[in-house]
Chain A
Amino acid sequence: GAVVSQHPSRVICKSGTSVKIECRSLDFQATTMFWYRQFPKQSLMLMATSNEGSKATYEQGVEKDKFLINHASLTLSTLTVTSAHPEDSSFYICSALDEKLFFGSGTQLSVL
């Protein structure tokens, strides 16, 4: 299947700082990527749909000014968690469409 690379796999930051997570489609071009958040022992919750060259579409309840998404090329989408707080600590996962939906390996964010 198609390969989606996500970095970093783990990040620890201080409260108030910003963190950027990258999602790359390695062997295909993805006009659409998705960002999910997953709490321990829970399902994946869609945060936003990232479209290359246009603004992201956010799900209800997701703060667009806090979770900045940029999809500047057909192989790269980034999620920036701005002014992170402990409640933002979570497992963030990206996915990309190549006829089917393929996922990155996830990023464990811990905000101290």
Chain B
Amino acid sequence: GENVEQHPSTLSVQEGDSAVIKCTYSDSASNYFPWYKQELGKGPQLIIDIRSNVGEKKDQRIAVTLNKTAKHFSLHITETQPEDSAVYFCAASEAGGYQKVTFGTGTKLQVIP
């Protein structure tokens, strides 16, 4: 089955700096890669996703890149703000997400004011 690795496990940045979280996946059949933000005691919230036919996608301060050859994908958050502090999970799925999604181990991001 699919295996998703995520690094780093914790990340501290100064407010205004950028944060980068990296993931790798093992199954070349995976074609859908969502990213989720989870605040303490809440369910994960979808923040951005990318499909395998696209190399990069951006939504305001958040961007995701995908390297299918290397089976790498990354989340980039620019101009970080304290409210960006949370746990971020990457994930991978086949069939555009209509089959089960495999999650990474999570990254706890702390933005220091």
Contact = CB atoms under 8 A, between A and B. Distances in A.
Interface in B96-113: 97-98, 100-106, 108
Given A100-B34, A101-B97, A43 B106 contact: yes
B45 interface: yes
Q: Name, among B49, B98, B108, the residue most crowded by chain A CB atoms within 10 Å (CB to CB).
A: B98
A66 to B, nearest CB: 20
A26 B13 CA distance: 37
A4 B45 CA distance: 11
Size bin of chain B's contact surface: 20 to 34
A101 B42 contact: no
Interface string A74-112: 000000000000000000010101011111111010000
Contacts of A100: 34, 46, 49, 97
A46 B105 CA distance: 13
A61 interface: no
A99 B51 CA distance: 12
A79 to B, nearest CB: 14
B43 A103 contact: yes
Given A97-B98, A100-B46, A102-B46, A108 B41 contact: yes
Across chains A and B, which 3 residue pairs bring their CB atoms closest together, nearest first?
Answer: A103-B43, A106-B43, A105-B43
Interface of A: 1, 4, 6, 32, 34, 41-44, 46, 49, 93, 95, 97, 99-106, 108
